[in-house]
Amino acid sequence: MKKLLMILAILNVCGCSGLDSFMQSSNNTNVGARSKMQSCMLSEAQTRLQAGSLFTNTVSATAKDIAGTCAKKLALSSMGISDEMQYSAENIITSLRNAGQN
């Protein structure tokens, strides 16, 4: 979380384009962003529960990890990087690993 805040602070100081509009529009879409975050966290918690990994750490540590995971997913999604792109990258890596084993 500290790293994310530091990056945002650096981008703000640098005056990178788009950041000001993002910050202004975030006030208007705060409710939508909050609901997306809550939905993501619920989905992530359910996935971990089904996988049996939800209760392997403390509640605080798990909550922090889930919140961080969802923040990253939503940030990547807002930049146009979807799960589909991750799967494409995984397929490329798997193909390269398999080619290296042959």
pLDDT tens for 37-48 read 999 999 999 999
User: Residue 14: its pLDDT value, please?
Assistant: 44
Burial of 5 (0-12, 13-18, 19+ CB in 10 A): exposed
Q: In the predicted model, is pLDDT for residue 50 greater than 50?
A: yes
The Cα 78–Cα 82 span in angstroms is 9
The Cα 3–Cα 7 span in angstroms is 6
